[in-house]
């Protein structure tokens, strides 16, 4: 019954206090465990945490929505398991790097205004993302191990790509490649487990 009511609510337009509105005042993109994810949340994520150049198509928004859902699932886990809260210097350092993605400070401030975020709200968002990174490091990445046999097998299977270099010469690169692959696999498995226990209702077409 609760799920039916939620679906009905998602299908209704939002009306202004003056009269009927032709378009919703704030479109609901999805709900995650009963909490609303607005379309504006996706636009804010896109503006500050996606690669520059996205065209904002419906297909792009669906992909961004998936990443927002994953991030929020991981946030809940981070608050449960990571006791060391990101520090102010860590937040400031990440904010500085984020600012540098924009050509000028005025461009950064313009996007900040367009998204409706205050600087403090953006810093809080950065803090949450750093918290998630700590979670992934402590619960996933710290347990990634590459054995000598894996390095040798990779070298033998890709020997033609190394231009005659010895295994010893390319071992750091091989270890980095294998580590990234394992980290990605374990992260996806972790997210799949979290998603399997979550209640998600997507409202994008």
CA distance 32 to 66: 11
Domains in the chain with CATH codes: 2-202 (1.10.4030.10)
- CB proximity list for 161: less than 8 A, separation 6 or greater: none
What backbone phi and psi angles, to 5 degrees, belong to 51? Answer: -65, 140
**What proportion of the chain, given as a percentage, has pLDDT over 90?**
79
User: What is the mean pLDDT of the segment spanning 147-160?
Assistant: 96
pLDDT tens per residue across span 121-132? 999 999 999 999
Confidence at 204, pLDDT banded by 50, 70, 90: confident
**Which residue, chain included where needed, has tokens 């398991």?**
81
pLDDT for 59: 85
CA distance 137 to 111: 31
Whether this prediction's pTM lies above 0.85 is answered by no
Q: Is 164 left (phi over 0), alpha (psi -120 to 50) or beta?
A: left
User: What is the mean pLDDT of the segment spanning 71-85?
Assistant: 94
What backbone phi and psi angles, to 5 degrees, belong to 185? Answer: -60, -45
Instruction: Supply 70's token pair.
Output: 């994953």
């Amino acid at each position: 019954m609760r799920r039916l009511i939620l679906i009905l609510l998602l299908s209704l337009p939002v009306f202004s206090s003056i009269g009927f509105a032709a378009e919703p005042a704030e479109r609901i993109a999805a709900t995650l465990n009963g909490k609303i994810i607005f379309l504006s949340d996706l636009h804010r994520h896109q503006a500050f945490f996606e690669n520059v150049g996205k065209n904002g198509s419906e297909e792009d928004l669906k992909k961004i929505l998936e990443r927002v859902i994953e991030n929020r699932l991981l946030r809940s886990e981070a608050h449960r398991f990571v006791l060391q809260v990101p520090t102010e210097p860590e937040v400031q350092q990440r904010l500085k790097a984020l600012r540098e993605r924009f050509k000028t400070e005025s461009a950064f401030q313009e996007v900040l205004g367009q998204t409706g975020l205050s600087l403090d709200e953006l810093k809080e968002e950065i803090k949450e993302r750093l918290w998630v990174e700590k979670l992934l490091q402590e619960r996933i990445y710290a347990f990634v191990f590459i054995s000598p046999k894996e390095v040798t097998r990779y070298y033998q299977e890709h020997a033609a790509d190394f231009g005659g270099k010895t295994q010893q010469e390319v071992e750091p690169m091989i270890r980095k490649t294998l580590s990234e692959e394992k980290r990605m696999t374990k992260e996806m498995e972790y997210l799949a487990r979290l998603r399997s226990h979550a209640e998600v209702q997507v409202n994008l077409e």
